[in-house]
Structure 1
């Protein structure tokens, strides 16, 4: 098992101080009294207009919400304000990780904040944003070598960890639900929609960019297709290969440890599910150009992508967030406008069909989060400490809130060559 910070050794109690050896920098509370005071004033002013009830020590309650609204508990106010004063939203997430704030329904709390994210900080102070937010580290640049490291930090944590909260298909992307669906049913429906969009059938030569743990390639092979699927994760390749062998389709699926920039050959269909978010804005042209080069005349591609509004994407493009620091280094969620621009400027491809289903991702994440929390003892036995478990809960709740608030969306984009 590959380990990330905080994954080795005995587990800590939830909310206890992080182990300084495993979580360098997190165990020490920033000493920024002036910035903490400003953060306190901004935070308390912001929550007074929100439908969330903030409980402070001593019984004080702040917030415009009623008794049915989500409750946020500030457990250690001094630490909480110092962390957000020093590091903004990164500090807000870190304060959850250390237990400086807590909530029975973190998704509910975060959804309220996500709906008002653009208005939480007063407009005069928003002009100072460029000096207040962190800049992305150079070592997270998605060069061929950097991309391997970024992918490994997340996907090579442990296959066993992901198996605890994903469904039997081991699919780590938004499902597509119909009434009465179990999660596995909805995941297979999503995959079938991607394969249908790319016209995958018997004899189709398929390139998949981003293997995951192999379910899409399995279903494509089940249709009689010949599949080349690529990944940068050694852990994913190992499990995917085993699944292909056990399903009896190893002769029709070739799984390679390969960067999308290294792909050769031509294919009737190219599919890529929630891979583009890890590519980085600088490399979107190369990503789409690789799809264009690989696609045979008359072929179709389907790309599933998480999306955000174009103005929000442009505001976030150069910042370093809690998500980058702890979960997905090097990534950026595109807007559909940015995808259209990259296609128009660097390829012969255009979007010919689009399916949006953001609320389905919120439901997918809810089920993942519930599954993760229900298996907390097993997560601990894998060697992931309490700080990691709080981090992972926050990650899943944070993402779910983004989709529930409409801040994030997800789209399946069918691509075909422009007709001259």
Structure 2
């Protein structure tokens, strides 16, 4: 089947159609090439799975009295929807949403159902044929020193104002720790500080501590550590993050205590009493995990402590994902891979680090993502004014809902892990 030459329609925030820009979104603007057989198989398998699951397919009517509305999916263009999935699997599923070919009144609920039953979507006899319809990760996304800079630039240098449109005033882009559920957006700053303070406590950061942070973000952890009296060296590859982090740190009066460096973790120099790294390992890539843990070990004084916050997934799921080009790796985090707890433990041990504690709190990330998603959705006008079109907005709504579903379903977890070299101070 030749590519469909017609530009695909996305949907504006007000519900009116919009053409996807083929220069900016080539794989959304035009339908891919796929054989009729693959499209028919996708329609049979996916269509059948949607009907078997606890979903309302193509039904946005109000539920009957006394019943609860189930997550729904309304497919506006079935031909395009199944063609994309037949050609590109889950990448096609996400691109179809970006193109406005399907919708849901409860996107995270829908994706949670799918994540919970991900192993049931394809019949067991056909799972061994997975390699026939998934794509390998492109070599250009490898996290070499140059590749890592480019990959970080593609996500974190989009716009500080974009991130500020949905993050709380601490500009923390990682899971918070709440005291109760459901959480409100007003709870986020305190919950983010609770998360940071817990990590600093785990790393034994106090007055006089020499602290290395790998992954600056927008500087909130460095600020909290400096307020304790620590001297902080913090590393980032994002020029936009570094600029704003320095400004925030200077405004708080901690410029002399915090050194923000545009630096790869592989180039770190010196030794520190403690190392903290928050949701950084996911951007490293499996190929470079030995280098990452070697850098952690090499940066520690004897008896020092490493406190990590890391998203994790099951080990077999990680192995499958490592060999696959996914929608997330294509559009959100190029070169990234979520590790398993086993991978972290084994790579840490190989570098001479021992796991001292390991605490998970997936439900807190689901709440964090829900609040970000709601804030992002409410800020569509601001996002549009920043120059991000409707396809981008649907991409990010899907990304935030997709991530929330991962934690809701427990397909993903988030953990705070303490590593030491086994010596006492």
TM-score (norm 2): 0.92
**TM-aligned CA deviation for residue 294 of structure 1:** 0.3
Aligned to 1:8: none
How many residue pairs get aligned? The number is: 402
Aligned to 1:101: 102
Q: Secondary structure at the match of 2:70?
A: coil
Aligned to 1:192: 197
**TM-aligned CA deviation for residue 12 of structure 1:** 8.4
Q: 1:55 aligns with which of 58, 65, 68?
A: 58
Aligned to 2:5: none
Matches of residues 362-381 of structure 1 in structure 2 within 5 Å?
A: 362-381=366-385
Q: Secondary structure at the match of 1:48?
A: helix
Q: Structure 2 vs 1, CA of residues 299 and 419 (structure 1 numbering), >3 Å: closer, same or farther?
A: closer
Aligned to 1:157: 158
1:273-310: per-residue Cα shift (whole Å, max 9, x none)? 00000000011110011010001011111010000011
1:338 and 2:338 aligned: no
**TM-aligned CA deviation for residue 337 of structure 1:** 0.3
Give the alignment's Cα RMSD to 1 decimal. Answer: 1.6
Aligned to 2:29: 27
Matches of residues 228-307 of structure 1 in structure 2 within 5 Å?
A: 228-307=233-312
Aligned to 1:44: 47
Q: Secondary structure at the match of 1:324?
A: helix
1:123 and 2:127 aligned: no
Deviating more after overlay: 28-37 vs 289-298: 28-37
CA distance in 1, matches of 2:194, 2:348: 27
Q: Secondary structure at the match of 2:383?
A: helix
TM-score (norm 1): 0.93
Q: Secondary structure at the match of 1:206?
A: strand
1:203-253: per-residue Cα shift (whole Å, max 9, x none)? 000000000000000000000000000000000000000001100000000
Contact kept, 8 Å, 2:234 with 2:259, in 1: the verdict is: yes
1:406 and 2:407 aligned: no
**TM-aligned CA deviation for residue 31 of structure 1:** 3.6
Q: 1:329 aligns with which of 334, 350, 356?
A: 334
1:384 and 2:388 aligned: yes
Contact kept, 8 Å, 1:306 with 1:334, in 2: the verdict is: yes
CA distance in 2, matches of 1:146, 1:21: 23
Q: Structure 2 vs 1, CA of residues 161 and 75 (structure 1 numbering), >3 Å: closer, same or farther?
A: same
Deviating more after overlay: 19-28 vs 399-408: 19-28
CA distance in 1, matches of 2:342, 2:260: 32
Q: Secondary structure at the match of 1:288?
A: helix
CA distance in 1, matches of 2:348, 2:358: 14
Moved over 6 A (4+): none
Contact kept, 8 Å, 2:13 with 2:380, in 1: the verdict is: no
Aligned to 2:76: 75
Contact kept, 8 Å, 1:56 with 1:77, in 2: the verdict is: no
CA distance in 1, matches of 2:391, 2:213: 35
Q: Which runs of 5 or more residues in structure 2 are unaligned?
A: 1-11, 62-66
**TM-aligned CA deviation for residue 350 of structure 1:** 1.0
